[in-house]
Amino acid sequence: MNPTMIDTITRLFADRKLSRRQSLAAGAGIAAGALATPALSAVAQDATPVAPDAEHGPEMLFVQSFQSGSIVPSNDVAGRYTITLDHGLGETIYFSDRPDRIVGSTPTAAFLDGLGFSDDNPPNAAILTHNQDGDSTLAVVELFDPVFDEETATLTYDVSLLEHWRDGTDLAFTETPVDVDAIGDTFGTAHLFIDDCGGTDIYCISPDRTLGISGHVGTILNGEHDGFCYSWSAMMCLPCQPWIADDEGVWRYWGQQCNLRFPDCLDNCRPHKV
């Protein structure tokens, strides 16, 4: 694989600000407003953000490679396609840019569970395919509904073209950027470059249901922890700042933050990722 292509795709995600880290699903913000009382909303606005010099999680790019694949229009959603990727490695490669320079792999099934796929804030990806004549094509898409067969190492996604991704970029691709339907019904080797974790608010939930049906006491906004970053050790996306790479430790910290920030928690709130 041409290293220049990896660098170009990394720049594409950065230049077009495609990283989902700063993206907040619109529905999450609406839900937060609907659940919170005016008094609790005011408390949330007065909350103290995380110190800017706190350690930050790494920014990752993920790569999945396959020997062949096919693509057909989706039967379920207009404008989407179902892409089937065959004979994969069963592993997803992850790597980070400077200064972390983290490189490794994780089982694809665990990666899919940990990254998160939603209609509101799906992962972005660049699909690089090669046909039998040696020609390459590149499409930039959003990924939905992954299904992985571990026995055959076959992975399917629903995908949709990411609109206007070339606007305002000066990146030069040696491959010809195409729409999804121009890839062809079948293709040879394929590499899928997947963008980083998404961003979302953290809800502070109390077991006291007198506070509302959900027990929602307050919200720690996505910007206060700078989105989510991938923890290779926990194999999941965790709040970026401060960076606590283990699942139990990070939610213990944010549970403490809930109880410090919102008096109505009565030291009994637990954090919940929206």
pLDDT exceeds 60 at position 19: no
**pLDDT on residue 144:** 96
State the Cα–Cα distance between residues 265 and 40, nearest whole angstrom: 11
CA distance 177 to 196: 21
Q: How confident is the model at residue 209 (pLDDT cuts 50, 70, 90)?
A: confident
Task: List, for residues 222-265, the tens digit of each pLDDT value.
Answer: 999 999 999 999 999 999 999 999 999 999 999 999 999 999 99
pLDDT, mean of residues 88-96: 92
Which among 21, 11, 163, 147 is positioned nearest to 84, based on CA atoms?
147
Cβ neighbours for 95, distance < 8 A, ≥ 6 positions apart: 60, 61, 63, 101, 102, 103, 104
Answer whether residue 28 shows pLDDT above 70.
no
How many other C-beta atoms can be found within 10 angstroms of the C-beta atom of residue 22? 12
Which of 6-10, 240-244, 257-261, 268-272 has the lowest average pLDDT? Answer: 6-10
- pLDDT, one tens digit per residue, over 113-152 is 999 898 888 999 989 888 777 778 888 899 999 999 999 9
| Mean pLDDT of the 36-61 span | 57
The helix, strand and coil proportions of the chain, stated in percent and rounded to the nearest 5, come to 25, 35, 40
Can you give the residue ranges of every domain in the chain?
A: 36-57+199-273, 60-194
Query: One-letter amino acid identity for 179?
Result: D
The overall pTM is greater than 0.85: no
Confidence of residue 11 (pLDDT cuts 50, 70, 90): low
C-alpha 218/C-alpha 65 separation (Å) is 42
Which residue spans within 14-123 are E strands per DSSP?
60-73, 81-88, 91-96, 103-107
pLDDT of residue 36: 38
- State the average pLDDT over residues 174-202: 78
